[in-house]
Amino acid sequence: MGIFVVMEGIDGAGKSTQAKLLAKWFEKKGYEVVLTKEPTDTAFGKLIRRLVLTGGKEGIIDGARISHEAEALLFAADRAEHVHKLIKPSLESGKVVISDRYFYSSLAYQWARGLDLKWLIDLNRFAVRPDLVVLLDLPVKESMKRINGRGIKTEFDKIVELQKKVRENYLKLAEMFPEIKIVNAQNSIEDIHRDIVGLVEQEILSKV
């Protein structure tokens, strides 16, 4: 079996930056790496971007044209395809899978939209558990500074409020799921990478 690592955190926390660095680190060590993300680039992911993420690339504006339940189901459908077509086969052939977001995003965000956490956990029960989930944690103010350049100009206060709730949800989830490890995402890119490598060594490589 391969190794499955997930990056989680609010928008702008540094997930894609750290996912890429970790992928390179594993490759240097001779592993075959699959770097992937959710929402995916498949037809389901495209549907989500069209129906749910109406606020532009960040998708954090609550302008959803569909119900929150339908939104949660679409994310779960996208994830089911992701798990069955890419994640499981890659792990079975011994590869390292690094995913930028996974079902913890559904728990943090769709819970913040008011959905029932237990229903969300049940809905995502098909999703194989990662070996390690890195929660990149930082204050919303800092993350907003980072993604300012992405062009959010409208509904700023609403976005900040939602992101704060999502951050709190992630921290609560970290107490419920032992695979989630919190990393301080306010440090430099290099320091965070070093922390993540430390977790990979401690939580995964030392155990195989």
Ligand X SMILES: Nc1ncnc2c1ncn2[C@@H]1O[C@H](COP(=O)(O)OP(=O)(O)O)[C@@H](O)[C@H]1O
Ligand Y SMILES: Cc1cn([C@H]2C[C@H](O)[C@@H](COP(=O)(O)OP(=O)(O)O)O2)c(=O)[nH]c1=O
Question: Which residues are annotated binding-site positions?
Answer: 9-16
- Residues annotated within the binding site for ATP are 9-16
Shortest distance (Å) from residue 170 CB to ligand X: 12
Q: Which residues within the stretch 104-123 sit at the binding site for ligand Y (CB under 6 A)?
A: 105-106, 109-110
Q: How far is the CB of 17 from ligand X (least distance, A)?
A: 3
Round to whole Å and give the CA distance between 180 and 172. 10
Distance CA 178, CA 187 (A): 23
For residue 34, give the 3-state DSSP assignment: strand
Chain residues in the site for ligand X (CB under 6 A): 9, 11-17, 146-147, 188-189, 192
Q: Which stretch binds ligand Y (CB under 6 A): 22-30, 52-60, 153-161, 199-207?
A: 52-60
Instruction: Name the one range near ligand Y by CB under 6 A: 17-25, 82-90, 102-110, 137-145.
Output: 102-110
Q: Give the C-alpha distances (Å, rounded to integers) separating 150 from 30, 49, 63, 147, 206.
A: 35, 16, 18, 5, 39
Residue 104's closest CA among 88, 113, 117?
117
Return d(Cα 177, Cα 147) in angstroms, integer: 28
Choose which of 4, 44, 75, 170 interacts with ligand Y (CB under 6 A): 75
| Largest pairwise CA distance in the chain | 49
Residue of this chain nearest to ligand Y (CB atom): 109
- Contact residues toward ligand Y (CB under 6 A) are 11, 38-39, 53, 57-60, 75, 101, 105-106, 109-110
